Amino acid sequence: MIALGVQPRILVVALRRLGDVLLTTPLIRSLKRAWPAAAIDVLVFRGTEGILAGNDDVGSVVTLAERPARGESLALLRRLWRRYDLALSTQSGDRPTLFSWAAGRRSVGFVDAAGIAARLKWLALDFPVLATGGLHRVDDVLRLAEAIGIPPVPEVVAPKGPMPSGIAPDRPYAVIHAAPMFRYKRWTLDGWQVLAAGLDARGLAVLATGGPADRAYLDEVWTGQPGVCRLDGTLPWPQLAALIAGARVYLGPDTSVTHLAAASGTATVALYGPTDPRLWGPWPAGGLGAPWDAAGTIQNRHNVWLVQNPPSCPWAILPCQQEGCLRRLDSHSQCLDELTVSQVLSAVDAALASPAPARMGASGAAG
């Protein structure tokens, strides 16, 4: 382990989307376990800081616009200059590497194998780590912990806050988060509606969550569904996390909220299409154990059931890791369009049949 003193100041740079920031929390936890008295700050894009709310490992959060003006970036560089004993970049890009190098008296980060910029980064960083593919994002980011000689702690830390009063029903409930960021990760409108009816038939109240920007799409999903209690746009991240933690089961596509649900320990049913779960599958509470397979009908790891539809892929290459069948963000994905409600409900039934201790700690695979 590198020597930093008893109360070091540490900066973690995670300039990515919400789910990526959440999957950086195992690195932050590893740092906090290695240096319990450390003050750990995190640099993120403005608008993603909520995913770190209530995280006891984080001292403060520094934000930057995703497309900042030159003056904002320069001002932040001056503000952070050599302020930290250690700074870690969780990406190999120029901007996060620059902030890591500038902020830390010692710096760690990923570096690509080739290119002029890569050679400069190899020289600039005190602990450069070769950027490689093929690892789950959590395992990948924990390579930074190993590079500085500290034990990796593979625990995703969800936002923490109180359960919102007057929202959770007085009977067991399910949470559905139907809206991913991009169209190509969506399931069908009919699928969600019939699924909600199936949950109701199993004695569960159905709560539907979503962000303010999801309102128009969720109007399409839940119109004519009076039994579904809509909470979209009403809950900050800590309260959303508390609501999901109290659910009997959570269901959602490949989205940051699904990663949050998996980390909370709640029985989580994740609907995956083009995304490769080996790299970006939900990370269960207590760790992944056996890696996700590339494709399967229903796979189970700890408290997560991952549902895919391999036979429907027209190119037989699921997961294709592409932006839908049309290779653009607003594309459909045939593998999700043809995913049946019966298959999803099979995963739900397996999740509901699993006793709470098994959901938190068991591991296995099916399909």
More confidently predicted of 218 and 328: 218
Tens of pLDDT, residue by residue over 16-43, are: 999 999 999 999 999 999 999 999 999 9
- The structural domain count of the chain equals 2
What does the pLDDT read at residue 358?
38
pLDDT of 357 > 70? The answer is no
CA distances to 17, 51, 149, 199 from 236, rounded to whole Å, are 17, 9, 36, 25
The amino acid at 28: I
Cβ atoms of residues 302 and 294 within 8 Å: no
Q: Tell whether 17 and 123 lie within a shared domain.
A: yes
* Residue 152 belongs to a domain: no
CA distances to 51, 62, 247, 306, 359 from 44, rounded to whole Å, are 10, 6, 29, 29, 32
Q: Tell whether 213 and 300 lie within a shared domain.
A: yes
Q: Where does residue 233 fall: left (phi above 0), alpha (psi -120 to 50 degrees), or beta otherwise?
A: left
Q: Tell whether 206 and 258 lie within a shared domain.
A: yes
Segment 160-178 shows an average pLDDT of: 92
* Residue 263 belongs to a domain: yes
Residue 259 phi, psi (nearest 5): -65, -40
Q: Which of 100, 130, 147 is the last residue of a domain?
A: 147
* Residue 156 belongs to a domain: no
Q: Tell whether 264 and 343 lie within a shared domain.
A: yes
Cβ atoms of residues 206 and 250 within 8 Å: no
Q: Which of 104, 131, 147 is the last residue of a domain?
A: 147
Q: Tell whether 195 and 137 lie within a shared domain.
A: no
Buried b (16+ CB within 10 A) or exposed e, 305-338: bbbbbeebbeeeebbbebbbbeeeeebebbbbbe
The residue behind tokens 């969600």 is 192
Task: Please report which confidence band the pLDDT of residue 326 belongs to, taking 50, 70 and 90 as the band edges.
Answer: confident
Length of the chain: 367
Tens of pLDDT, residue by residue over 255-282, are: 999 999 999 999 999 999 999 999 999 9
What does the pLDDT read at residue 110?
98
Residue 24 structural domain: 9-147
Residue 48 phi, psi (nearest 5): -105, -5
What does the pLDDT read at residue 315?
66
CA pair distance 318, 322, nearest whole angstrom: 10
* Residue 215 belongs to a domain: yes
Tens of pLDDT, residue by residue over 87-134, are: 999 999 999 999 999 999 999 999 999 999 999 999 999 999 999 989
Q: Tell whether 195 and 93 lie within a shared domain.
A: no
Q: What is the mean pLDDT of the chain?
A: 93
More confidently predicted of 179 and 366: 179
Residue 164 DSSP label: P
* Residue 159 belongs to a domain: no
* Residue 2 belongs to a domain: no
* Residue 153 belongs to a domain: no
Q: Tell whether 220 and 355 lie within a shared domain.
A: yes
- Looking at the DSSP bridge assignments, the partners of residue 42 are 12, 61
Nearest to 34 by CA among 77, 88, 99, 101: 88
Residue 132 DSSP label: -
Cβ atoms of residues 287 and 314 within 8 Å: no
* Residue 129 belongs to a domain: yes
Q: Tell whether 25 and 74 lie within a shared domain.
A: yes
Residue 39 phi, psi (nearest 5): -100, 110
CATH number at residue 276: 3.40.50.2000
Q: How many CA atoms lie within 13 A of 219 on its CB side?
A: 4
CA pair distance 28, 285, nearest whole angstrom: 16
Strand order in the sheet with 304-307: 228-230, 205-209, 173-177, 249-253, 268-271, 304-307, 298-301
H/E stretch holding 358 reads helix 356-361
What does the pLDDT read at residue 236?
94
Q: Tell whether 213 and 272 lie within a shared domain.
A: yes
End-to-end CA distance of the chain: 42
Cβ atoms of residues 8 and 106 within 8 Å: no
Q: Tell whether 194 and 337 lie within a shared domain.
A: yes
Q: Tell whether 199 and 342 lie within a shared domain.
A: yes
- Looking at the DSSP bridge assignments, the partners of residue 177 are 209
Cβ atoms of residues 241 and 208 within 8 Å: no
Residue 243 phi, psi (nearest 5): -60, -45
Tell me the Cα Rg of the chain: 21
Task: Please report which confidence band the pLDDT of residue 328 belongs to, taking 50, 70 and 90 as the band edges.
Answer: confident
What does the pLDDT read at residue 114?
92
What does the pLDDT read at residue 327?
86
How big is the CA angle at 31 (ends 46 and 9), to the nearest 5 degrees? 70
Reduce the DSSP state of residue 305 to 3 states and report it.
strand
Q: Tell whether 205 and 332 lie within a shared domain.
A: yes
Tens of pLDDT, residue by residue over 52-98, are: 999 999 999 999 999 999 899 999 999 999 999 999 999 999 999 99
What does the pLDDT read at residue 200?
97
